[in-house]
A and B are shown apart, each in its own frame.
Chain A
């Protein structure tokens, strides 16, 4: 559905997109994950023909994307990072206005607007102006304005920024529902949990290029870490640390303030082996927990920094 090849965008000396390559297939919820400034929004703006780019090709629905490609634009819905609604119009009027930029038939438009209002749960706020809505409700209105015309492709650029957990869940559920109804979704975020929760395929971006892509499982398999074990309140000497480092599958240990963190390849029996060793050495300890790798681990292992740095 979308093919981006060798896309380069520069702002003076800063390379915002560095030979970006992306392929997004129909029916996916495709996540673009990356820290702030990694080039996600720039990529979206280039895809929408809002931004000039220095090099590369962008194809949408098999056609070259350009500002005059109105046929392609008809099938795209956009939810921008910044809320983009008219303060002077009510909730209903805003959705009707934006839907009207795609759908000229008044009767059909009314049905679509009503459906969108119901979809985002704004039935009780139809006559309210945006300024009277809470942050979460405002985000929902922003989404409704972008999806009311039932587009084939929906691009959501960080739609949950500054949203309360309840509204965030509602938004994420809604996105999955839209996908079930047949829309392909491109979802950008720097919240790895969200991306992990809803996306069927993910591309991790850093410094304007994709550093890894695939399903969540595929991404996790790309890295060495299979399990991360953390033990709190544990007094250890250097000889103990050496012995733990030598346990099977352990490839990295970190000990600070009596907290031990182990990273192991694979995920079987690592915890039991560690506990057996501690017992054999009569070492006391506090809480113990084991975590499977996250997308943050993927990002950390590939770039050497945290996703939220």
Chain B
């Protein structure tokens, strides 16, 4: 068996197409992801510039409210008092994002749509809500007005965003989890190549191997092990690259991540061997099937769209339970975000179970030792 595995690894390792793309494509994609949104969280947030035009019937409550906002979060707004003409000129010159008109019912003027304008709108809406609250207190509990005002002035956040496992949620990590899942599934190309060299009706090489006294199951297993080892090494290289070169902080333990990658590589290779073993379909169509399979699985697990996995969970949760890429990326979530060991093990067991089914099915398909034509 060792003899077979040794040579199978050598053959695959020296096959440029078989080794290069399953390794290099995820590395390239990972690098693109990194430059596209790897540093999105560190992007500088610019303070919104806004003018305040005091009308004749200016509202002191609004002035007080704005003052409090500026004090509590100095990076959010920079308010400058201006006369209307100067403010309009500044707005036109895009030196400010909006103009607050301070009157009995304050209003906002903007000349664009964007995040700064939305912030200004939210501040104004927040003022209206607060005013409504004060008016209610004055009407119903006038004695509590001071307490009410002091609590409204306390702008400390009452909700803090943390993960279930106490780890920071980085919205972009799911792209990288889906990428690792895709790299695992790319092992199917290695497995596919192995299956082709085991069928005597497809290649002379397979015919020569089939007439030897080596049991077919031994041939299949040796191919499976060699393919798995190469696929797994490819994923480990990707993990090291993401962690140590791109310096992505996955937070979870590397050991557990390696275990997920191990099961992921197993399912990838098994899928490839299974598709390669499918009856009378031409090699080109089989390649198209594994390509489509790996891409669709990765797409549904959120490789191209961050909300896809949630959408699938909402409308067809069964797909997330059997999609290998979703199971792999979910397992990463379990250790890095949810800290949910039960779900983590359930994902791994599902992956292992599916791998066993694929390998057994491949054996049953390939073990047919006599062919109708060669």
Residues of B whose CB lies within 8 Å of any CB of A are 3-4, 7, 10-15, 200, 203-205, 207-215, 369-374
With A85-B205, A101-B213 known, 4 other A-B pairs at CB within 8 A are: A50-B210, A52-B372, A93-B7, A100-B7
A83-B372 contact given A93-B7, A101-B214, CB 8 Å threshold: no
A249 vs B150: C-alpha distance when bound (angstroms): 135
> Which residue in chain A gives the minimum CB-CB distance to B14?
A88
Q: Is the CB of B369 within 8 A of A68?
A: yes
List, in ascending order, chain A residues with CB within 8 A of B373's CB: 11, 51
A234 / chain B contacts, CB cutoff of 8 Å: none
A145 within 8 A of B: yes
Q: Is A277 an interface residue (CB 8 A)?
A: no
Contacting pair B7 A145 (CB below 8 A): no
Question: Given the complex, which residues of A lie within 8 Å of B204, measured CB to CB?
Answer: 80-84
A45 beta carbon closer than 8 Å to chain B: yes
Q: Give every chain A residue within 8 A of B210 (Cβ-Cβ).
A: 50, 67
What are 20 A-B contacts defined by CB distance under 8 Å? A50-B211, A50-B369, A51-B372, A52-B370, A71-B213, A73-B211, A78-B211, A80-B207, A81-B204, A82-B204, A84-B203, A85-B205, A88-B11, A89-B10, A93-B7, A93-B10, A96-B7, A97-B3, A100-B4, A101-B213
A84 to chain B, nearest CB (A): 4
CA distance A100 to B3 in the complex (A): 7
Residues of A near any B CB (own CB < 8 A): 11, 45, 48-52, 67-68, 70-71, 73-74, 76, 78, 80-86, 88-89, 93, 96-98, 100-102, 104, 145-146
Q: Which of B3, B200, B205, B212 has the most CB of A within 10 A?
A: B212
Contact A51 B374 (CB under 8 A): yes
Contacts of A98 in B (CB 8 A): 208, 212
Q: How many Å from the CB of B145 to the closest CB on chain A?
A: 84
Contact B372 A89 (CB under 8 A): no
Please state if A89 and B369 are interface contacts (CB–CB under 8 Å).
Answer: no
CA distance A69 to B372 in the complex (A): 19
Say yes or no: A45 contacts B374, CB within 8 Å: yes
- Cβ–Cβ contact A70 & B211, under 8 A: no
CB distance from B70 to the nearest CB of A (A): 70
Residues on B with beta carbons closer than 8 Å to the beta carbon of A96: 7
**For B203, what are the chain A residues with a Cβ–Cβ distance below 8 Å?**
84
The answer on a CB contact under 8 Å between A50 and B205 is: no
> Known contacts A49-B370, A52-B371; is A76 also within 8 Å of B205 by CB?
no
- Among A67, A68, A80, A93, the residue within 8 A (CB) of B208 is A80
A86 to B196, CA, bound (A): 13
With the chains together, A104 CA to B213 CA distance in Å?
A: 11
User: Which B residues touch A78, using CB under 8 A?
Assistant: 208, 211
Assess the A73–B212 pair: CB atoms within 8 A: yes
Q: Which A residue sits closest to B200, measured CB to CB?
A: A50
Given A50-B371, A52-B370, A89-B11: A145 in contact with B4 (beta carbons within 8 A): no
* Residues on A with beta carbons closer than 8 Å to the beta carbon of B212: 73, 98, 101-102
4 closest Cβ pairs, A-B complex: A67-B369, A84-B204, A88-B14, A101-B212
Contacts of A89 in B (CB 8 A): 7, 10-11, 14
B209:A101 contact, CB within 8 angstroms:
yes
B208 & A145 in contact (Cβ 8 Å cutoff):
yes
A51 touches B10 (CB 8 A): no
A84 engages B207 (CB within 8 Å): yes
Residue of B208, B209, B369, B370 most packed against chain A (CB within 10 A)? B208
In angstroms, Cα B3 to Cα A270, docked, is 65
User: Would A70 and B215 count as touching, CB distance under 8 A?
Assistant: yes
- Among the listed A50, A80, A97, which residue makes an inter-chain contact with B7, where contact means beta carbons less than 8 Å apart? A97
Known: A80-B207, A97-B7, A98-B208. A50 touches B213 (CB 8 A): no
Expressed in whole angstroms, the Cα–Cα distance for A96 and B11 within the complex equals: 13
Residue of B whose beta carbon sits closest to that of A75: B213
Given A50-B200, A101-B212, A104-B3, A88 contacting B370 (CB threshold 8 A): no
Q: Quick check: A51 and B208 within 8 Å, CB to CB?
A: no
Q: Judge whether A50 and B370 touch: CB under 8 Å.
A: yes
Q: Is the CB of B371 within 8 A of A51?
A: yes
Contact of B213 among A74, A81, A83 (CB under 8 A): A74
- A48 CB contacts on chain B under 8 angstroms: 211
Q: How far is the CB of A126 from chain B (nearest CB, A)?
A: 15
Residues of chain B within 8 A of A74, CB atoms compared:
213
Min CB gap B366→A, angstroms: 12
Query: Within the complex, what minimum Cβ distance (angstroms) separates A63 from chain B?
Result: 13
